[in-house]
Structure 1
């Protein structure tokens, strides 16, 4: 009886998902050159995000006194017995800072999730 031989298949290391995932994790955990480069990339992304949001915050907060000095009539406006610049700097800035803080946390977590996906892929 002629039994047909099973068809041979070629297995390449890059085709196996588990091998690459384990190798990438080991490289990160053992701080090899590739793992260190990946961690530096994550740190660079987090630093870039922090610097960009710090610049947005500084420009926004710096614009308030600048506007009041350029347009002196804004400084004379009184709302609820408080001058407008003090009201803006003392009360209205906090929701802005809270929103920027939440945005930073969300984007930083996205960077970390992208890094985790890269390592686990």
Structure 2
């Protein structure tokens, strides 16, 4: 610059903010679920399908476990004649085994269903 030229002032600074893609995605997926668009309905159907599959698998597991006891006792009839404290072994096993199996199945279902819902929430909020 020469001494005779007037001094130029730089233009004022402008702050440029880029749109955050993650924020736009959160809003879009939440809106799709709330407004029940095709994508939102597909996401909800996926959650319902996962919960149903979990319930069917655990239900079948409980049925197989509980029905295997009479099947084993039918194959080995000598166990059916055993008594413990005056109670026949089949009644004792079915009476005492059924509750822990059902309780355990319920506990596993609750944990897995909550995990499915958390995964769905993470997908929507991600």
Question: Normalised by the size of structure 1, how large is the TM-score?
Answer: 0.88
- In the alignment, which residue of structure 2 is the partner of 1:85? 90
Q: Could you list the runs of 5+ residues in structure 1 that have no partner in the other structure?
A: none
Structure with more of its chain in helix, by fraction: 1
Question: Normalised by the size of structure 2, how large is the TM-score?
Answer: 0.84
Structure with higher Rg: it is: 2
Q: Check if 1:63 corresponds to 2:68.
A: yes
- Superposed, 1:1-121 pairs within 5 Å as 11=18, 15-121=20-126
RMSD after superposition:
2.1
Alignment length (residue pairs): 119
Following TM superposition, the consecutive aligned residue runs of length 4 or more in structure 1 with deviations greater than 2 angstroms are 1-4, 8-11
Q: Distance in 2 between matches of 1:116 and 1:81?
A: 53
